């Protein structure tokens, strides 16, 4: 099963991309797609469309567009694994102040507005979000030795 993540501008600026990806790899995820990019306003609006009309929507758009991000597709080798839940567990609570130590947000997040990483919260979200940033041709399959 594949999962979608974005290491947000604060993670890229602080040089934490390798550490964050390493945490997923330690749990058995393989990187099957990866790119660094500047998110366009259109992409940001598509990504956060579920939050349109909420008081923090404009802040989300402004922040995700404020610097380079790393978008990634991860795949877990165990076919029946609940990969959405596992990714969410590795990432931690949205608010770093409430996230457990040992999670990405608990260890590296600085505020709810700068919480270092985005991860899809469901399979439908993943399917919608990954298409904003990746085409099928950009994803690879390879055997795990």
Q: Give the C-alpha distances (Å, rounded to integers) separating 134 from 30, 107, 109.
A: 16, 28, 26
DSSP-assigned letters across all residues of 99-118: SPTTSHHHHH--SSSS-SEE
In three-state secondary structure terms, 45 is helix
Asked about 118 being catalytic, the answer comes back as yes
Length of the chain: 145
Report the alpha-carbon distance of residue 33 to residue 74 in Å, rounded. Answer: 7
Catalytic residue among 2, 88, 118, 126: 118
Sorted by sequence, the CB contacts under 8 Å of residue 31 that are 6+ apart come out as 21, 24, 25, 72, 73, 74
Catalytic residues: 118
């Amino acid at each position: 099963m594949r999962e979608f993540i974005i290491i947000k501008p604060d993670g890229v600026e602080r040089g934490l991309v390798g550490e964050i990806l390493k945490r997923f790899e330690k749990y058995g995820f393989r990187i099957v797609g990866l790119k660094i990019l500047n998110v366009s306003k259109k992409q940001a609006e598509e990504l956060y469309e579920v939050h349109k009309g909420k008081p923090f929507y404009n802040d989300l758009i402004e922040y995700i567009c404020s610097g380079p991000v790393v978008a990634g597709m991860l795949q877990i080798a165990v076919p029946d694994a609940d990969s959405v839940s596992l990714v969410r567990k590795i990432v931690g609570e949205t608010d770093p102040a409430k996230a457990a130590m040992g999670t990405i947000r608990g260890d590296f997040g600085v505020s709810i507005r700068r919480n270092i990483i985005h991860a899809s919260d469901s399979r439908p979200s993943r399917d919608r979000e990954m298409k904003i940033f990746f085409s099928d041709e950009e994803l690879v399959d390879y055997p795990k030795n």
